[in-house]
Amino acid sequence: MTEAVAGSVALLRTAVDRDWDGTPAAGPEWSCRTTAEHLAETLFAYAGRLAVRAADARVPFGITLDEGTGPADVLHVLETAGALLAAAAATAPADARAFHPHPHRSAGREGFAAMGITEVLAHTHDIATGLGLVHEPSAELCAYALTRIFPHVPPGPDPLSTLLWATGRGELPGRTRPAAWEWRNNLVLPAGRLRLHGLTPAAALDLATGGDGGFDWVASGPFQGTRDASRMLVTAYEAGAHRPEWGVFVLVRAEDGRAVGAIGFHGPPNGENRAEIGYDLAVDGRGRGYATEALRALSAWPPAREGGTRLLAMTEPDNTASQAVLIRAGYVLTRREEETGLLVYELPG
């Protein structure tokens, strides 16, 4: 966040002697001045919402600039707003959530940071284009936003052009510019004593390469199955086949914010409209019913049950603990795979 705002302000300060009120920005039908004020107000709003964990609606406040405030002072306000959002994101707990309408009515600290960065990069592009400046943010900043709130956008030739395309501001070979666009914060599902946190491509990559994915794990976690599932998610994302609603979720205890395992789909429904679910728990999380609660919650999630989708899970014949989880969640044994010998359990329609 700090880097994005600093780069924006440094570039735009080279043109504070120009007529921002009379110069239209690219993109929205606003002047460069109005676009800069909108950007600052948006960052303030994000910081306020995240700081107080606003749960149900936007916090009803805004900013009003003094009469006669020029472009240089507007940029000072922008710096202030960016610093406040950076501080709110840095101090928020890992599982903190606050209101944002798109698409699941909440976002976490990384989501708000990524939204703020996207706002800065997109609107700086608008203002710079209007003023005839060249805006070249780092690839790392663009990738930060893409891998956290644009999981549905397949990677393009480079992060900047992909982000501009994803926000309706640029072209990509072979892709039609979206008529309407929005980012997608990760989904968090309540599941009894747990919350299921949808993995972003960024978190999945960290888990797949030995990190913690940004989660506070119990001592024995994450289990290898979580890392394997994360690697599958990254592969699907890089291939343009990842669908966030059919992704992987980390199981986080509501009581202490510790992650105890993961659950998720092996991908969207296949040609037979079947979707496979897999799950695992860290050793410290076993024997407490967490897997059953998570499986029930994910199995009841509307996208998993709409359109006649049939949910299934496979388990080793000697994995009686997993079989007990499936049975408690309402799944029934339907067959045994001839090639693998795995038992197939399905959730009745």
Task: Give, for all 349 residues of the chain, the pLDDT tens digit.
Answer: 999 999 999 999 999 999 999 999 997 789 999 999 999 999 999 999 999 999 888 888 888 899 889 999 999 999 999 999 999 999 999 889 999 998 889 999 999 999 999 999 999 999 999 999 999 999 999 999 999 999 999 999 999 999 999 999 999 999 999 888 999 999 999 999 999 999 999 999 999 999 999 999 999 989 999 999 999 999 999 999 999 999 999 999 999 999 999 999 999 999 999 999 999 999 999 999 999 999 999 999 887 777 789 999 999 999 999 999 999 999 999 999 999 999 999 999 7
Question: 225 in a domain, yes or no?
Answer: yes
Are 152 and 239 part of one and the same domain? no
Per-residue pLDDT, 301 = 86
CB 121 within 8 A of CB 169: no
Query: Residues 6 or more apart from 308 whose CB is under 8 A from it?
Result: 273, 349
Final residue before a domain boundary, out of 166, 200, 222: 166
Output DSSP code: residue 31.
Answer: B
Residue whose entry in the numeric block shows the structure tokens 């030739």: 157
- SS (HEC) of 233-257: HHHHHHCCCCCHHHCEEEEEECCCC
Q: How many domains does the chain have?
A: 2
Beta bridge partners of 335: 344
DSSP of 250-294, one letter per residue? Answer: EEEETTT-EEEEEEEESSS--TTSEEEEEEEE-GGGTTSSHHHHH
Tokens 């202030």 — which residue?
A: 80
Closest CA to 9 of 72, 63, 62: 72
- To which H or E segment does residue 87 belong? helix 71-91
178 secondary structure, DSSP code: P
Domain, as residue range, for 263: 188-309
**φ, ψ for residue 62 (rounded to 5)?**
-150, -170
Task: Write the burial class of residue 309 (CB in 10 Å: 0-12 exposed, 13-18 middle, 19+ buried).
Answer: middle
Q: What is the CATH number of the domain that holds 107?
A: 1.20.120.450
Domain CATH number, residue 291: 3.40.630.30
Q: How far is CA 76 from the centre of its chain?
A: 29
> Whole-angstrom Cα distance, residue 174 to residue 317?
47
Structural domain includes residue 51:
yes
The vertex-215 CA angle with 211 and 221, nearest 5°, equals 65
pLDDT on residue 74: 97
Residues 136 and 278 in one domain: no
* Co-location of 7 and 142 in the same domain: yes
